[in-house]
Structure 1
Amino acid sequence: MDSMWVDDDNIYRNVWSSDDVIPSDMELEEPINIEFLNSKNGANNAYWLFTRENPTHPQLIINGDVSTIRNSNYVANRPLMVVVHGWSGSVNSVLNTRITAAFLATTDVNVIVVDWQELAAANYVTAVAGVPSVGQHLGEFVNWLIENGGGVWDNVHLVGFSLGAHIVGNAGRTLDGRARRVTGLDPAGPLWHALLSSNALRATDGQYVEAIHTNVAAMGILNPIGDTDFYPNAGWHQPGCEDINQCSHSRAHALYASSILTDHFVGRRCINLTQALNNLCTGAALNMGNGNLNKTGYGIYGLSTSSVWPY
């Protein structure tokens, strides 16, 4: 896997990810491929470790094989950051590069990038159906890693983009909410909106759960679902995005990477969701994103950002 990770001075530039190409109405009506789902479930997850000793060449940690921990650069007393891509994504997705590089630039941490690309390559409906399994297996892996490699729950931060946001939610509840932080980056909306599925990310999935909503009109979920929900630029059309939906959706992970590096996004508390969707919030301040493991907060927040990095 050494060749998969590309050093790139422009990893934070204003580009959007191929993750979660917006599903068409026809795709949303496709049946679940049960045979595929049963063969490509969470048991197929791969877990890749990045540290400051190996920032661009990941080490594979195999669930159940303690030797893969011992032979890696995993260090028990470092914080553990877990990053999960969305539908049609993979370990090579730009969000993984962005967020991993940002974490390693600011803090000496272990970063686990979760690759569930085999199931993520299925039709959208099948991928949605596979979210609980992927999340459960991820939670079981993190528990195994802490038990066998060392670490403490107050140092664990789970981060997921789009369908990956619901995956880290399921992982968090598998861990009985012990992870210190869970962050959902524009949690997926299609097939999740109507009833707020019991499999969706929710506030009880970690000690502190935060969601950043950047495209609620199409690809992201509209409703507030965390302890704290941020709606930058009214949560819909992000500045500088000509492709309103895809670019705005992907802006969530770009904003999050920027927040890890700079922590300059100041949200203002909203009275209600309507106020957030009109970007009219003027209440108490709380910074959006960042990697602070001691962060706490509650409520709905709005803010404005710029059109180019670091936004």
Structure 2
Amino acid sequence: MPDGEDIPHLVDLQEEPDVELLTARDSNHNQYWLYTRSNPDTAQIITYEEKESITNSSYNGKKPIKVIVHGWNNDGNANVNRMVKTAILDTLDANVIVVDWKRLASSNYVSASNGIPAVGDHLGHFLTWLIDTAGGDWNEVHLIGFSLGAHAVGIAGRTTKRKPARVTALDPAGPLWVGNPHALNTSSAHYVEAIHTDGGFLGMSEALAHADFFPNSGKHPQPGCWISTCSHSRSYRLFASSIYTDHFVAKRCNDTTEAHNNQCNGSEFNMGNCDINKRGSGIYGLSTERKWPF
């Protein structure tokens, strides 16, 4: 499994979880890092149930809310956060909230995976408190998660006071999550989108959203990738690129078999972008290039 810089690490899926960590009173207390166009590079920490942390920040309830959640062995400074946050602020005047859940994320994979329900639940309660306290429009809330973070935002969307407008799942984690009742599903937002790039290994190959995209068959190797971790992280690189130019035109597939064989020729629907009003459904395939902007 990859860390925050896409370096692979050997994982034992039979390893015992860290029960002490999972049951610690503050084990689900995420950190919330706010970035806006006023502070695009230096995070402002918003602390749950501390109103002063909002009033002393650049948060503006009249602007859209974009939330990014990293995966295992990552933290708030992970590459996924940097790339997606920068792309959003370069193209949209928004509140970007990066969720840092490094205490659990830096534990073994089994522990981190078992802790995802608490991470997502806490995020859902945080967003409800934030909007109730400082304003915000649920129709302008977009949750974005990579790998384990994809399931965390799915849980958050099912926990919030009102349903978010959109969830984007970037290669949702596969190990320990196929058939998991806490996994991402279509009840997490009005529109749930998944981008699959390493299906069957680090990511899920199953369709689980309103719209599921399978670029380059949705599995390893993605063009220009030699190791699976590169294919896994390709999901957020494609998404970041799509925010700038929205150029990934996918075609509808009859089923996942067509998607996995990149043989889709149906109606067109764009993959990615940050359009909060985006709506659609189905399974889609497309081809991309080897290098940025792909």
Match of 1:77 among 62, 68, 82: 62
Shift in CA distance, 17/252, structure 1 to aligned 2, threshold 3 Å: farther
TM-score, scaled relative to structure 2: 0.96
Tell me, in whole angstroms, the C-alpha distance in 2 between the residues paired with 1:23 and 1:157.
32
Q: Give the Å deviation of 1:37.
A: 1.2
Q: 1:280 matched to which residue of 2?
A: 263
Q: 1:8 matched to which residue of 2?
A: none
User: How many aligned residue pairs are there?
Assistant: 292
Shift in CA distance, 20/273, structure 1 to aligned 2, threshold 3 Å: farther
Tell me, in whole angstroms, the C-alpha distance in 2 between the residues paired with 1:162 and 1:101.
19
Q: 2:105 matched to which residue of 1?
A: 120
Which digits, 9 at most, give the CA deviation of each residue in 1:231-267, with x for residues without a partner? Answer: 0000012100122x10000000000000111100011
Q: Give the Å deviation of 1:79.
A: 0.3
Q: 1:172 matched to which residue of 2?
A: 157
Q: Give the Å deviation of 1:33.
A: 1.4
Tell me, in whole angstroms, the C-alpha distance in 2 between the residues paired with 1:23 and 1:202.
28
Q: 1:104 matched to which residue of 2?
A: 89
Please state whether the residue corresponding to 1:43 is helix, strand or coil. Answer: coil
Counterpart mapping for 1:1-311 below 5 A: 17-18=4-5, 21=8, 23-24=10-11, 27-39=12-24, 43-175=28-160, 178-193=163-178, 196-236=179-219, 237-243=221-227, 245-311=228-294
Which digits, 9 at most, give the CA deviation of each residue in 1:194-225, with x for residues without a partner? Answer: xx211000011101000000000310011111
Tell me, in whole angstroms, the C-alpha distance in 1 between the residues paired with 2:40 and 2:25.
29
Q: What runs of 5+ residues in structure 2 fail to find an aligned partner?
A: none
Q: Give the Å deviation of 1:268.
A: 0.4
Tell me, in whole angstroms, the C-alpha distance in 1 between the residues paired with 2:109 and 2:103.
12
Q: Is the 8 A contact 1:281 1:301 kept in 2?
A: yes
TM-score, scaled relative to structure 1: 0.91
Shift in CA distance, 198/138, structure 1 to aligned 2, threshold 3 Å: same
Q: Give the Å deviation of 1:178.
A: 0.9
Q: Give the Å deviation of 1:31.
A: 1.1
Q: Is the 8 A contact 1:40 1:119 kept in 2?
A: no
Tell me, in whole angstroms, the C-alpha distance in 2 between the residues paired with 1:72 and 1:66.
10
Which digits, 9 at most, give the CA deviation of each residue in 1:68-117, with x for residues without a partner? Answer: 11111001110000000000000110110000000000010000000000
Q: Is the 8 A contact 1:21 1:88 kept in 2?
A: no
Tell me, in whole angstroms, the C-alpha distance in 1 between the residues paired with 2:175 and 2:202.
6
Tell me, in whole angstroms, the C-alpha distance in 2 between the residues paired with 1:19 and 1:181.
26
Please state whether the residue corresponding to 1:28 is helix, strand or coil. Answer: coil
Q: Is the 8 A contact 1:179 1:206 kept in 2?
A: yes
Q: 1:7 matched to which residue of 2?
A: none
Q: Give the Å deviation of 1:18.
A: 3.0
- Percent identical pairs in the alignment equals 49
Tell me, in whole angstroms, the C-alpha distance in 2 between the residues paired with 1:48 and 1:74.
11
Q: Is the 8 A contact 1:20 1:88 kept in 2?
A: no
Q: What runs of 5+ residues in structure 1 fail to find an aligned partner?
A: 1-15
Q: CA RMSD in A?
A: 1.6
Tell me, in whole angstroms, the C-alpha distance in 1 between the residues paired with 2:250 and 2:8.
28
Shift in CA distance, 40/113, structure 1 to aligned 2, threshold 3 Å: farther
Q: Give the Å deviation of 1:23.
A: 4.8
Which digits, 9 at most, give the CA deviation of each residue in 1:57-78, with x for residues without a partner? Answer: 0100000000111111001110
